[in-house]
Structure 1
Amino acid sequence: MALSLSTGFADPRADYLEHCADCHLENRLGANGPALIPETLKRMRGPKIEEVIRDGRVATQMPSYREELTDQAISELAAYLKTPLETVPPWGEEEIMASRVLDEDYVAADAPIWSSDPMNITLVVETGDHHVSVLDGDTFEVLDRFATPFAVHGGPKFSPDGRYVFIMSRDGWVQKYDIWSLKQVGRVRAGLNSRNIAMSGDGNWLAVANYLPNSLTILSTKDLSVAEVHEVVGKNGKPSRVSAVYQAPPRESFVLALKDVPEIWEVSYSKHPDLGIFAGGLAHDWRIEGPIAQDTPFPIRKITTPDFLDDFFFDQTYEYVMGASRAGTGGLVIDLVIGQKVADLDLPGMPHLGSGITWKRGDSTVMATPHLQDGTVSVIDMNSWETVKKITTEGPGFFMRSHENSPYVWADVFFGPNKDAMHIIDKQTLEIVKTLRPVPGATVAHVEFTKDGRYALVSVWEDDGEVLVYDAKTLEIVKRLPMRKPSGKYNVWNKITFSEGTSH
């Protein structure tokens, strides 16, 4: 604990720099952890901030500072975090463009400079030292290992041809990398505190969801230039952070989850926004929802929702969106065509819909999602929206994966004492048929399949970790790849084809 030389009392600014700045930055605008400013913390009234500092936060990387700080120091640090920043730097088109750097030595190759199958390349995000490894999906040779911005967050997004990948960090940096050439193309800071990115179906636009400022930045994928910056303000005039942005290719639009207003936004990138409908063929009069700016190539449709929705999952047609309520007590289904709720979902325990998956089961398609607070996997019929089964697991999970050529779903137990477990679930019986524990005591999480589904790659999510390559049929380890805290893994083919069993 830092003490003031003049008074002998705790110095919250010094305590912040010592204990918090590594994850939240000196300016409190966030990096690996969220921004610690009133705009972010306003829902944590009273002693809640003090409780988080003292006890840490379950299911996050926030540790307890009970031993490092006295109660007085914790109280003063919490009060310090509630004070507004002296200045919040503007971050609009001018500032974003000023941050853009295109690599002068980058030269686009006419063809891949390697002989691997370009559709079976897998990227591994290594958060231990902020790098990405480029793997040959057949031999698992590392073709390249390149540095990323600090604290990569959200899944990388591939161009439709699988050549380029775009990676975003917590502090808003977007990196473009050429897989064929194994070279970075450039970087741009699209926000100050960002959540995730989405690629348009035509590959021309990249949408960046921002917490700070309250904006949606749309970049040209060609050169990372700014196409537009949308200020995010609800129908009632209240500004809002963007929880996440998703692509809806059949609708030629992006769909936004908003943090601070009960609305869903749909932003069109159609070539004909002046028609008042989606060029993708899903006729809908945008003006039914109120005035829409038509002097922009990215008009916005605002849909009021019954609850704040932080997480989404789309059906196969992208007509329906499943949303999780903030309270973690349930969910609902919104019909995007009519802009109305059409069903409630039995989803207690804070479902992680963003990692949900679907598959054919009998005559129906089902969707399954883990829960962040309960040891449960919920399986929902996509026709009736009824819960088919709640599968009991050994603890709350974070990720699920499968493949159209696999009879199994792989579900981790990311939180709690059984974090070393990986459940293998039969898609038809919905029973756990095996529980893997490859590294006792280590966090075992996040599965990605190779293009043909023959192999399943599993992360040992530790700083001195590894990626385990499993034979997806025998469930035996066939290779171990040492990695620095490998988190997500992303196969080109599975992602650009929206493969069954892959979150989108």
Structure 2
Amino acid sequence: MIRFTALISALLLSSGLATAGPAETFSESCASCHGEDRLGGTGPALIPQTLKRMRGPNLEKVILNGRPATQMPAFADVYSAEEIKAMAAYIKEPLDIVPEWGEDKIAETLTLNEDYVPASKPVFSADPMNITLVVETGDHHVSVLDGDTFEVLDRFETPFAVHGGPKFSPNGRYVFIMSRDGWVQKYDVWSLQQVGRVRAGLNSRNIAISHDGNWLAVANYLPNTLTLLSTKDLSVAAVKDIKGKDGTPSRVSAVYQAPPRESFVLALKDVPEIWEVFYGPNPPHYGFAHDWRVEGPAPHTKPFPVRKITTPDYLDDFFFDQKYEYVMGASRSGEGGQVIDLVIGHKTADLDLPGMPHLGSGITWKYGDTTVMATPHLKDGTVSVIDMETWKTVKRIETLGPGFFMRSHENTDYVWADVFFGPNKDAMHVIDKQSLEIVKTLRPVEGATVAHVEFTRDGSHALVSVWEDDGAVIVYDAATLEEVKRLPMRKPSGKYNVWNKITFSEGTSH
């Protein structure tokens, strides 16, 4: 368990008032998650710039009660009220120096693999479109699986604490992987070799790749920026400072691509706005921010117009409709959601989504004569199913506890939903797409966290993670729901099939 005494010692270290005890506790118990410099690792950075919306009593509540849907534990039974109040006060103290991290600093970190030799064709006989990557956070590696035989073709080291889903180039050859501390890694699937890596931020959330495969967008908590990289050589194309219309700086909660719009769409953590950053040659005319062009000599000059859309509430996460005309968004602090029309730039509907929906894991499928979107909830034991024409709730499916991930495939009759939080974390629900009923609950390893499903290219098999350090990827027959194979893995947190991701399979979150 993380010991929050570390927070005190970290802040004391920055102010020069540390005693040996708290300093040792921080280094021993917290630095592995939050970083020796408090700039983040698997856990967030513990500085005021990244805790803007947890002021005063809210900070004390987090230390007292923990945070739902995270690994932050409660400390009500560990510290007194006065000690917790002191912790909250220290957290608000800034670091003496927060490093600058602009284009020059990013460029200095670029490292290319001198031994990399691009192959003219895949160096393996497996179907390159049915390759599945397994992120193993237990020892910071990725395994490359043959999606037909489930043989491990390669296992390579990643940056520390991979966060957010890897993104494939449009032809599936290259994959880009991001870590929580801002490193972006490029890997050649055909050659089974790392190409290089660069540190695009200090504390980052996720990445998105443009539909043409030319640009990679990196959403940063620290600094408050969006970094745009060239996918060709990982060079910096632009660094966008994220400030709301009123000048308020903000962290970027998430960034996704909107292919038909030739844009990236950003959710902002600290201002009630979403941004659309265009990368295409002929962006529409919306009245962009004045700083829309990156200056510099050719060929690096690249326009990235920014459109800022005011929203009624903060949007920590969101989901697109199939045409990328609407954004379904929700705040982690709210009890509902909203639909934003990207064409007109206004809210058009409210969503009945209590219990902190995890829209980043939302999926869609055909349901009768309409299309529905389903999302798990991080606080409630439910899966909400929403009609994407009326924006009304079709059904709220009761589960054994709050969930984190959902997956399906166009060639299967079922949706798989985990129960990530609580005493039933070893359960995996299988839901019929048309009856919207749970038809089976799998419990492959008693007491273990069972989560995150991915399908093979044809949807014939479902891969399930046993999210433990001595865990496994379990392969199921997607029709019979019987176990086929079990692959030992080191805390396999996520799995990503090339074909499903590059074709935007209806059962895959984007």
What residue identity is the alignment partner of 1:263? E
How much does 1:78 deviate? 3.6
Which among 221, 240, 248 is matched to residue 238 of structure 1? 248
1:53 Cα deviation after fit: 3.6
Residue 281 of structure 2 is aligned with which of 266, 271, 280? Answer: 271
Partner of 2:155: 145
Aligned to 1:483: 489
Q: Partners in 1 of 2:203 and 2:189 — Cα distance?
A: 27
1:190 correspondence with 2:200: yes
Q: Is the 8 A contact 2:317 2:359 kept in 1?
A: yes
Q: Please, which of 195, 209, 234 is the counterpart of residue 224 of structure 1? A: 234
Question: Is the Cα–Cα contact under 8 Å of residues 50 and 222 in structure 2 kept in the other structure?
Answer: no
- Cα deviation digits, residues 27-81 of structure 1 (max 9, x gap): 1000100000011223223344344345433322223456776666555444332
Q: Could you tell me which residue of structure 1 aligns to residue 298 of structure 2?
A: none
Deviation of residue 265 (structure 1)? 0.4
Deviation at 1:16, TM superposition (A): 2.6
Cross-structure match for 2:292: 293
Select 1:308's aligned residue among 294, 305, 314. 314
Corresponding residue for 1:347? Answer: 353
- Among 183, 186, 189, which residue is 1:179 paired with? 189
Other structure's SS at 1:286 match? coil
Residues 346 and 8 of structure 1, relative CA distance in 2, 3 Å threshold: closer
Q: Residue 58 of structure 1: which of 57, 68, 71 is its match?
A: 68
Q: 1:396 to 1:473 in 2, by over 3 A?
A: same
- Unaligned 5+ segments in structure 1 are 278-284
User: Is 1:389 matched up with 2:395?
Assistant: yes
Kindly indicate whether residue 509 of structure 2 is the aligned counterpart of residue 503 of structure 1. yes
Corresponding position: 1:96 with 2:106: yes
Aligned to 1:42: 52
CA deviation profile, 1:327-377 (whole Å, cap 9, x unmatched): 231001011011011111111100000000000011100100000000110
Q: Is residue 2:38 matched to residue 1:32?
A: no
2:407 corresponds to 1:401: yes
Given that 2:289 and 2:306 are in contact with CA atoms closer than 8 Å, whether structure 1 keeps it comes out as no
Of stretches 452-461 and 41-50 in structure 1, the one that deviates more from structure 2 is: 41-50
RMSD of aligned C-alpha atoms? 2.0
Indicate conservation of the 8 Å contact 1:467/1:482, yes or no: yes
- Could you list the per-position Cα deviations for residues 104-160 of structure 1 after superposition, in whole angstroms to 9, with x for gaps in the alignment? 111101111100000000000001110000000000000000010010000000000
Shift of 1:182: 0.6
Structure 1 residue matching 2:118: 3-state secondary structure: coil
What SS is found at the alignment partner of 1:20?
A: helix
Contact 1:460 1:467 in 2 (8 A): yes
C-alpha distance in structure 2 between counterparts of 1:327 and 1:64, whole Å: 18
- Check the 8 A contact 2:214/2:231 in 1, yes or no: yes
User: Which residue is 1:250 aligned to?
Assistant: 260
In structure 2, the CA distance between the partners of 1:48 and 1:10, relative to structure 1 (3 Å rule), is: farther
Can you list the C-alpha shifts for 1:146-205, whole angstroms capped at 9, x where unaligned? 010010000000000000000000000000000111110000000000000000000000
2:209 to 199, 218, 228: 199
Q: Which moved more, 1:42-51 or 1:263-272?
A: 42-51
Instruction: List alignment gaps of at least 5 residues for structure 2.
Output: 295-301
Q: Which amino acid aligns with 1:259?
A: K
- The one-letter amino acid of 2:310's match is T
Counterpart residue identity of residue 428, structure 2: M
Say whether the 8 Å CA contact 1:312–1:321 is kept in structure 2: yes
CA separation of 1:297 and 1:56: change in aligned 2, threshold 3 A: same
Q: Tell me how far apart the structure 2 counterparts of residues 427 and 482 of structure 1 sit (CA, whole Å).
A: 31
The answer to whether the 8 A contact 1:12-1:80 is kept is no
Aligned residue identity for 2:96: E
Q: Is the 8 A contact 1:401 1:410 kept in 2?
A: yes
Alignment-derived partner of residue 280 in structure 1? none
For the pair 1:17 / 2:16, whether they are aligned, the reply is: no
Letter in 2 for 1:178: D
In the TM superposition, 1:405-444 aligns within 5 A as 405-444=411-450
Give distance in 2, aligned partners of 1:340 and 1:73: 45
Cα distance in 2, alignment partners of residues 336 and 319 from structure 1: 5
Corresponding position of 1:129: 139
Measured after TM superposition, the shift of residue 286 of structure 1 is: 1.4
Q: Report the TM-score when normalising by structure 2.
A: 0.93
**Matched-pair contact (CA < 8 Å) for 2:182–2:201:** yes
Q: In the alignment, residue 222 of structure 1 is paired with which amino acid? A: K
CA contact (8 A) 2:289 2:305 kept: no
CA distance in 2, matches of 1:96, 1:384: 45
Deviation at 1:379, TM superposition (A): 0.4
The C-alpha deviation readout for 1:4-40, integer Å capped at 9, x for no partner, is 9xx9978544443332211000110001000000112
Change (3 A) 1:290 1:216: closer
Larger CA deviation: 301-310 vs 50-59: 50-59
**Change in 2 beyond 3 A, CA 1:119/1:14:** same
Q: Secondary structure at the match of 1:186?
A: strand
Q: How many angstroms apart in 2 are the aligned matches of 1:42 and 1:315?
A: 31
Who is 2:299 aligned against?
Answer: none
1:181 and 1:453 mapped to 2: Cα distance?
26
What amino acid maps onto 2:134 in structure 1? V
CA distance in structure 1 between the partners assigned to 2:404 and 2:18 by the alignment: 44
> What secondary structure is seen at the aligned counterpart in 1 of 2:316?
strand
Match of 1:282? Answer: none
CA separation in 1, counterparts of 2:151 and 2:390? 45
Contact residue 68 and residue 378 of structure 2 kept, 8 A = no
Equivalent residue number for residue 281 of structure 1: none
Letter in 2 for 1:221: T
Tell me the distance in 2 between the aligned counterparts of 1:322 and 1:454.
Answer: 30
Cα 1:69–1:19, aligned 2, differ >3 Å: closer, same or farther?
farther
Name the structure 2 match of 1:167. 177
* Distance in 2 separating the partners of 1:36 and 1:8: 16
- Looking at structure 2, the residues matched to 50 and 437 of structure 1 have their Cα atoms a distance apart, in angstroms, of 37
Is 1:172–1:192's contact at 8 Å kept on the other side of the alignment?
A: yes
Distance (Å, rounded) in 1 between the aligned partners of 2:309 and 2:21: 46
Percent identity of equivalent pairs: 76
Separation in structure 2 between the aligned mates of residue 337 and residue 358 of structure 1, nearest angstrom:
21
Cα distance in 1 for residues equivalent to 2:232 and 2:340: 33
